[in-house]
Amino acid sequence: MAAGRIITMRSYQALLLFLAALAVFAFYYLGSGRESFSSTTRRMKQNSAAEYAMQDLDLSASSSELKLGEGKSKNLESRGVEDYHLLMMFTKVDRSPGLRDKFELALSSLLKYGKFESNEVLSLHFVSDEPSKEIGKTVLRDLLLGATFKYKVIFHDVGALTEKLFPIVEAMQKLFSAGSGTYYSDSIFFLSVALHHIMPKDITRIIQLDLDLKFKTNIRELFEEFDNFLQASVIGIAQEMQPVYRHTFWQYRRENPNTKVGEPPPEGMPGFNSGVMLLNLEAMRQSKLYNQLLEPTAVRQLAEKYHFKGHLGDQDFFSMIGMEHPELFYVLDCSWNRQLCTWWKDHGYADIFDQYYKCESHIKILHGNCNTPILED
Angle, helices 314-324 vs 296-305, to 10°: value is: 70
Residue 322 phi, psi (nearest 5):
-70, -30
Domain boundaries, given as residue ranges, for the chain? 46-371
Q: Mind listing the pLDDT tens digit for each residue in 61-103?
A: 333 333 333 333 334 444 468 999 999 999 999 999 899 999 9
pTM > 0.85: no
Please report, in tens digits, the pLDDT of each residue of the chain (377 residues total): 544 544 454 555 555 444 444 443 333 333 333 333 334 334 444 444 444 444 345 433 333 333 333 333 334 444 468 999 999 999 999 999 899 999 999 999 999 999 999 999 999 999 999 999 999 999 999 999 989 999 999 999 999 999 999 889 988 888 887 665 444 447 888 999 999 999 999 999 999 999 999 999 999 999 999 999 999 999 999 999 999 999 999 999 999 999 999 999 999 999 999 999 999 999 999 999 999 999 999 999 999 999 998 888 999 999 999 999 999 999 999 999 999 999 999 999 999 999 999 999 999 999 999 999 998 76
Q: What residue type is 164 in one-letter code?
A: K
CA distance 252 to 237: 23
Q: Give the per-residue SS3 of 53-112.
A: HHHHHHHHHHCCCCCCCCCCCCCCCCCCCEEEEEEEEECCCCCCHHHHHHHHHHHHHHHH
Q: Mind listing the pLDDT tens digit for each residue in 330-344?
A: 999 999 999 999 999
Whether 314 contacts 274, CB under 8 Å: yes
CA distance 323 to 293: 13
Q: Give the per-residue SS3 of the chain.
A: CHHHHHHHHHHHHHHHHHHHHHHHHHHHHHCECCECHHHHHHHHHHHHHHHHHHHHHHHHHHCCCCCCCCCCCCCCCCCCCEEEEEEEEECCCCCCHHHHHHHHHHHHHHHHHCCCCCCEEEEEEEEECHHHHHHHHHHHHHHHHHCCCEEEEEEEEHHHHHHHHHHHHHHHHHHCCCCCCCHHHCHHHHHHHHHHHHCCCCCCCEEEECCCEEECCCHHHHHHHHHHCCCCCCEEEEECCCCHHHHHCHHHHHHCCCCCECCCCCCCECCEEEEEEEECHHHHHHCHHHHHHCCHHHHHHHHHHCCCCCCCCHHHHHHHHHHHCHHHEEEECHHHCEECCCHHHHCCCCCCHHHHHCCCCCCCEEECHHHCCCCCC
Q: Class of the 46-371 domain?
A: alpha beta
Q: What is the pLDDT of residue 173?
A: 85
